[in-house]
Amino acid sequence: MNPHEREPTPVRTACPYCGVGCGVLATPDGAGGASIAGDPAHPSNFGRLCSKGAALGETLSLDGRLLHPEIEGRRASWDEALDAAARGFRETLDRHGPEAIALYLSGQLLTEDYYAANKLFKGFLGSANVDTNSRLCMSSSVAGHKRAFGADTVPGVYRDLETADLLVLVGSNAAWCHPVLHQRMLAARAARGTRIVVLDPRRTATADEADLHLQLRGGSDVALFSGLLVALADGGFVDQAYVDAHTSGFQAALARAREIAPDLAAVAAACGLAEAEIAAFFDLFAGAERVVTLYSQGVNQSAQGTDKVNAIINVHLATGRIGREGMGPFSLTGQPNAMGGREVGGLANQLAAHMGFDAASIDRVRRFWDAPRMARAEGRMAVDMFEAIDRGEIRALWVMGTNPAASLPRADAVRKALAKLDHFVVSENVASNDTLTAGAKIRLPASAWGEKDGTVTNSERRISRQRPFLPLPGEARPDWWIIARVAERLGFGAAFAWRTAGEAFREHAALSAFENGGARDFDIGALAELDDDAYDALEPTQWPAKRRDAGGETRFFAEGGFFTGDRRARFVAVEPPASRPPDAGRTLRLNTGRIRDQWHTMTRTGRSPRLASHLPEPFLEISPRDGLRAGLTDGGFARVSSAHGEAVLRVRFDPTARDGAVFAPIHWTEETSSGARVAALVHAVTDPVSGQPDAKATAVAAAPVVFGRQGFALTRGALGVLDEGAWWARAVAPHGVSLLFATNGAVTLEEVFPDLRGSDEIVDFVDPARGTYRAGAFRDGLLQAALFVGPGSQAGAWSFLRGKLGARLTEGEIRGLLLAGRARGGADCGPLVCACHGVSRGAIEDALRAGANDAATVGSMTSAGTNCGSCLPEIRRMVAAARVRTNVPALGLFG
């Protein structure tokens, strides 16, 4: 072997998606791509990856990347751009003071980036208007933790999910949103019989896998957990010794719980459930010492999110089930570094390093930073921040790595507000998104996953390195570097003189330990002494990691030791669930959330053809009864409107949906759809404590929208523009891109594919009686583009043809038959069910017809579900449906 051709070494890094924080092995291919595998040595995932993580290799192209600084739409040098960015903040500060500047950050920033940004604004520009998209994600958990524990502490560790006897998932579709962790739970159940209870108003994939699913009314969690507290107290399950020794406020909390939920009947009424279902859950909970209650956005994104968190924590405190193996409340975070942002203090109501805005903390941080202009009070939280921008109170804004014009409640209003800014800087990976197009004057190209170098913290307080394995493209730079250069131009060069991310990290670690002495939970002093090599080699490390005391898994609070003044936990007397006045004409309650194969606004997952196949269009899930009442048809379209905006979505009748409750995914933006920015609908109601918006309960109405034609355009080249009234969603395909659309206008080949050449060979099929037009364009013998138009959904053909783009035809293949939109003799292949192995619904149905009678057999026949397992609920559902089909005649014969 040529000694120069060494095997490329995999780089150990961490996944950029959810808060599970999986370790990833990335092996660069030397051509800008990389092969991706799970890191067997990482304690979050032990080698497993979910469909999204496994497809990371498909997301590395530089298409659509912002690669150079821009000022007012023209390319600029870094010097010009940084000068302009700094000047704008300086001028706004001078003219309007520190209340008029703001920073809006992201849970996808690395800890080092977060640290730099927070330090600049809170220590050097005097502004606490530093908030983050984590406000939309887990700030109710932060607030709940702080109220109960005196600090934002996640008490448990992932291993608890494997040693618990009962797992209660509240408002968490972990099967889709935290798949690797969910698989760990299911594996534990298989090994030791763990019971799983899911509390969710939706019949999610997670609910499908549960032993018990309580499909409670949205927002009724507080009543349920109040009822549980009462039941535990009345049943003698309170750990009085723990309560007496380590807590305060139990009686008041219990009294309040009794007011809210005096008995099973009251709980049942509040939750819209049968008493027996509730009793079953209470019995399970009472009987299992080792119980972990996991919760996510269904709890956090609520007008009463903090109370929900505390209602959950209350029952764990009351039973002393906290901080010991296999038990405790457990917040699952949705972003790779929401936890890191919290550690840094990158939120408007935190100062730094788990310190607040008390005078002692402000002074301590001032001394540590040698800071000239400390923020003295909490700043504006996300929703409030953008309302202040609208009112002209904030005049200069810097957005980093997030897309508030697509993700904040009342997104249309947010977008309008952004246009009013005097100074608007965005640091981004992508060249275009809803926020950039909302008037960003200075665009700074930031490094992306694979290029970034730093750390992230996952849901169990574990710090992992994100290591670069690709060169910085174009003029992209790390966020911390950009911030430091702006700081330099504002006159603070000495305080931001880090040469590496490691230097910034060590400073952050040192601050966590500075005058700590056990007073603050967050202490990673041991990491302040890492040299550059040790930082580079840092193994996944759980905090606390105090000086001379690092290493090992740590839980909190088994023996009390809370971070309140008296070291006691606080029971919180939660407020009764508020019933909002009914909104006449808007009788549906809109729940929003993620889907299995997409993440946030799809800027990364949206690049993966595999991930685009499962659910390629924005949709509205609605119960058939509500749908019919609103005049909708399954597979048709609905205009969903709230007091704040509207969206047009594909209708999916879901027989498992609660009447009155509808669901829409959050992922589509103006870049990827014609009008499916669901955040535009969402009301700006926030939790009074956490400031987290309630994205799960907006009053909406739905009305049918009728389109005469539906179809798709698929091309290796460019997509043109459809008529003004057309509905569309963009989805990538292998070797190309596609547009799924519906319209009443005409769609012509020339308009939808503007870069077709005269030499391209067109194959077409017309069936005017059926309103069908299909065409394929071939270039150099390969399918260059395809257009299907028909009276109904062309989704099946889309699934089939997207795989044919750019593919060479087989010998003797009649290419015109591609316009059948499916394989000869084969059924409609349908959407991908297993994104990891690319197995379609049709292939699984074939396996079921061939005799597979459980998910394991389907797996051995098709590979479906054998990697990340997040499609297993769907496969099991298909197995069950097939059983019903085959059993029907048998019943007819013998029944």
Partner 1 sequence: MQPERLVIVGAGMASLKLLEELAAAAPRRYDVTVVGAEPTPAYNRVLLSSLLAGEASDEDLRLRGRDWYAAHGFRLLTGAPAQAIDRAGKRLILRGGRALAFDKLVLATGSEAIRLPLPGADLPQTLTFRDLYDATRLRALAAPGRRALVIGGGLLGLEAAYGLVRRGCSVTVVHLADRLMERQLDERGAATLRRTLEAKGVGFALSASSVAITGDAQVTGLELATGERLPADLVVMACGVRANAGLAKAAGLRVNRGITVDDRLATSDPDIFALGECAEHRGDVYGLVAPAYEQARTLARRLAGDDSATYAGSVLSTNLKVSGVGVFSAGAIEPEDGDETMVLADPGHGHYRKLIVRDDRLKGAILVGETSDALWYLDLITTATPLGPLREDLAFGRGFAMAA
Note the residues at the interface with partner 1 (CB under 8 A).
761-770, 778, 814-817, 819-820, 822, 824-827
Task: Please give the Cα distance from 585 to 589 (Å, whole number).
Answer: 12
Residue whose CB is less far from partner 1, 518 or 791? 791
Nearer to partner 1, 7 or 780 (CB): 780
> Which candidate, 833, 836, 686, 655, places its Cα nearest to that of 215?
655
Q: How far is the CB of 789 from partner 1 (least distance, A)?
A: 15
Residue 496 has what DSSP assignment?
A: G
- Per the CB < 8 A criterion, the answer to whether 442 and 84 are in contact is yes
| 524: amino acid identity, one letter | I
Rank residues 564 and 793 by Cβ distance to partner 1 and give the closer one.
Answer: 793
Task: Give CA–CA dist 258/256, Å, rounded.
Answer: 5
State the Cα torsion 876-878-883-888 to the nearest 10°: 150
CB of 742 to partner 1, least distance (A): 20
First CA to last CA distance, the chain: 71
Q: Please answer whether residues 844 and 881 qualify as being in contact, where contact means their C-beta atoms are separated by less than 8 angstroms.
A: no
3-state secondary structure of 279: helix
Alpha-carbon distance 143 to 335, whole Å? Answer: 18
Min dist. Cβ of residue 758 to partner 1 (A): 12
- Smallest gap from Cβ 779 to partner 1, in A, equals 11
Q: Nearest approach, Cβ of 841 to partner 1 (angstroms)?
A: 16
Task: Specify the residue, 368 or 765, whose C-beta has the smaller distance to partner 1.
Answer: 765
Please report how close the Cβ of residue 894 comes to partner 1 at its closest, in angstroms. Answer: 31
Nearer to partner 1, 796 or 873 (CB): 796
Question: Quick one: DSSP state of residue 216?
Answer: P
Judged by beta carbon, residue 191 or residue 769, the one nearer partner 1 is 769
The answer to whether the beta carbons of residues 856 and 864 sit under 8 Å apart is no
DSSP label of 124: I
Q: What is the DSSP secondary-structure string of 588-638? A: EEEEEE--TT--TTSTTGGG-TTTTSSS-S-EEEE-HHHHHHTT--TTSEE
Choice between 699 and 797, CB closer to partner 1: 797
- Work out how close the CB of 762 gets to partner 1 at its nearest, in angstroms, rounded to a whole number: 8
- Tell me which residue of 61, 60, 63 sits closest to 36, measured CA to CA: 60
Q: How far is the CB of 804 from partner 1 (least distance, A)?
A: 15
Cβ count within 10 A of residue 280: 15
Closest distance between partner 1 and the C-beta of residue 766, in Å?
Answer: 5
Q: Which is nearer to partner 1, 287 or 791 (CB)?
A: 791
Task: Say how far apart CA 895 and CA 889 lie, in whole Å.
Answer: 9
Q: For partner 1, give the closer residue by CB, 580 or 770.
A: 770
Burial class (CB in 10 A: 0-12, 13-18, 19+), 869: buried
Minimal distance in Å, beta carbon 705 to partner 1? Answer: 26
What element of type H or E holds 198?
strand 195-199
Say if CB 791 and CB 771 are below 8 A apart: yes
Min. distance of Cβ 774 from partner 1 in angstroms? Answer: 9
Nearer to partner 1 by Cβ, of 1 and 814: the residue is 814
Alpha carbon 437 to its chain's center = 22
- Closer to partner 1 by Cβ: residue 212 or 763: 763
Distance, in Å, from the CA atom of 523 to the CA atom of 515, rounded to the nearest integer, reads: 10
Minimum CB–partner distance for residue 639 and partner 1 (Å): 30
CB of 824 to partner 1, least distance (A): 4
Least Å distance, CB 793 to partner 1, is 14
Q: Which is nearer to partner 1, 78 or 765 (CB)?
A: 765
Say how far apart CA 815 and CA 483 lie, in whole Å: 55
Rounded CA-CA distance 571/372 in Å is 39
- Cβ atoms of 833 and 877 within 8 Å: the answer is no
- Sole residue written with tokens 């508020």: 578
Look-up of token digits 């309560």: 243
Token digits of residue 358: 């008390």
Beta-carbon count within 10 A of 252 CB:
12
Strand 74-75 vs strand 646-653: parallel, antiparallel, or unpaired? unpaired
Smallest distance from partner 1 to CB 858, Å: 22
Cβ nearer to partner 1, comparing 235 with 816:
816
User: Which stretches does DSSP call E strand in 149-264?
Assistant: 166-170, 195-199, 212-214, 247-248
DSSP 8-state secondary structure symbol assigned to residue 711: E
Is 406 exposed, middle or buried, given 0-12, 13-18 or 19+ CB atoms closer than 10 A?
buried
- From the list 728, 754, 846, 740, the residue with the least C-alpha distance to 795 is 740
Q: Which is nearer to partner 1, 548 or 824 (CB)?
A: 824
Tell me how far, at minimum, the Cβ of 825 lies from partner 1, in Å.
5
Name the DSSP class of 121. I
What is the Cα–Cα distance from 729 to 250, expressed in whole angstroms?
52
Plot region of 180 (φ>0 → left; ψ -120 to 50 → alpha; else → beta): alpha
Residue 688 or 781: which CB sits closer to partner 1? Answer: 781
In the complex, what is the shortest distance from the CB of residue 812 to partner 1, in angstroms, rounded to a whole number? Answer: 10
Task: Compare residues 274 and 766 and give the one whose CB is closer to partner 1.
Answer: 766
Residue 775 CB, shortest distance to partner 1, in Å, is 10
Of residues 412 and 828, the one with the C-beta less far from partner 1: 828
- Locate the DSSP E strands across 812-884: 832-834, 839-840
Residue (of 199, 337, 190, 194) closest to 271 by Cα position: 199
Structure tokens at 477: 């730079």
Cβ closest to partner 1, residue 38 vs residue 776 = 776
| CA 706 to chain CA mean position, Å | 32
